[in-house]
Amino acid sequence: MKNRKYLTEPEIKKLIEAASQGNNPERDTCLIWMCFIHGCRVSEINSWRLADIDLSNNSIFIRRLKNGLSTIHPLYDLERNALYAWLKTRSRHKHAGKEWLFLSQKGNRLSRQQIYELLRNYGRKAQLKVDAHPHMLRHACGFALADKGVDTRLIQDYLGHRSIQHTVLYTATNAHRFTRIW
């Protein structure tokens, strides 16, 4: 169980509940929701700038790393309230003029290490049976989309995979896909 590479949706909800009780609840719940919903790598989410969010068109630019396909994603209901709450709190931050979406106390973007630490601590606080880390949210996104019956090619595009080989992991292990055959 400790070696599982993804979080389940109930575990993500527990993680978010733990984050909502933390020192920076608006920022951290928003970060977790957005990392999960958009299937981001830690270096992708900590690189988000305010300019990447287009509230008038209800979208966000996802700049993929590792030669992935960058694209624009819609903002979804699940994350929108968390994003608005964070932006309201962020507007009162002493470093609100900085370009980064997720600010540290010192006004820098959250580092990869800080995000790893946050998720590990929230995972422990939520009493998860796995050691939570950011990449588990990316995998959770892929598995959640596969469980919803989303086409493998669409999941590939959504996660920014150049090769379908990186995407079939999510659909190949989905036993529910067989229930719709007959």
Tens of pLDDT, residue by residue, the chain (182 residues): 457 788 999 999 999 999 999 999 999 999 999 999 999 999 999 999 999 999 999 999 999 988 888 899 999 988 999 999 999 999 999 999 999 999 999 999 999 999 999 999 999 999 999 999 999 999 999 989 988 888 888 888 888 887 777 777 777 766 666 666 66
- Cα distance between residue 53 and residue 101, in whole Å: 9
Helix (H) or strand (E) segment spanning residue 59: strand 59-62
pLDDT at 165: 74
Domains and CATH numbers, the chain: 9-137 (1.10.443.10)
- Cα distance between residue 57 and residue 80, in whole Å: 13
Catalytic residues: 41, 66, 135, 138, 161, 170
pLDDT at 175: 62
- Cα distance between residue 113 and residue 134, in whole Å: 10
- Single out the residue of 38, 46, 31 nearest to residue 70, CA to CA: 38
- C-beta of residue 42 within 8 angstroms of C-beta of residue 62: no
**Residues for the chain: how many in total?**
182
